[in-house]
Amino acid sequence: MGSLERLVALLIITMCTSVTMSLAQNVIATPNLDNQNTTVVIYNDLGDDLPLRFHCQSRDVDLGNQHLAAGGSWSFEFKPSASGDTIYACLFGWKLEFHYFRIYRQDRDKESSLHGCTRCEWKIHKDGPCQLNNVTKMIDHCPPWDSSQFSKNNLPLFI
């Protein structure tokens, strides 16, 4: 082989190697791309024309103080963690009442679970939050408020 052919052969081998390596990197990176973005929508369904105040945060993200007029809605978007432990906790308030609720818990809300969602819509009632079923459009999932003990210990929130 002349030196030009040798150079061309070396170049081809180098290119093949780098393509193979980048393919291998994509395979390794795939689990992190698995979780699609999730949107949480919060509706003020308190009634009596009451405005709803709330403040939601995760370990890393503070979504700030929010205010919803009667009947209004607000949403936020995030990527659930690969390790499955994403939690967004909120403090909801109206008049002199305050309640904690984990509006997103990956263990409860991941797509594969009973009430799983990628668009998670919650109506806030005085009695507690109710999830709107994406498929049936029924409100059939109304877990109780969280105890303040839980959220205070894990995620301090101030309205």
- Minimum CB–partner distance for residue 103 and ligand NAG (Å): 15
Per CB under 6 A, 119 contacts ligand NAG:
yes
CA 150 from centre of chain: 19
Other residues' Cβ atoms within 10 Å of the Cβ of residue 146: 20
Q: Does 118 bind ligand NAG (CB under 6 A)?
A: yes
- For residue 101, the minimal CB distance to ligand NAG (Å) is 19
Which of 14, 18, 37, 75 is close enough to bind ligand NAG by CB under 6 A? 37
Residues 49, 95: Cα–Cα separation, whole Å: 12
Q: Rounded CA gap, 73 and 115, in Å?
A: 21
Residue choice 42, 91, 117, 130 for contact with ligand NAG (CB under 6 A): 117
Residue ranges in 42-81 that form contacts with ligand NAG under rule CB under 6 A: 77-79
By CB atoms closer than 10 A (0-12, 13-18, 19+), residue 41 is: middle
Residue ranges that bind ligand NAG, judged by CB under 6 A = 37, 77-79, 111, 116-119, 134
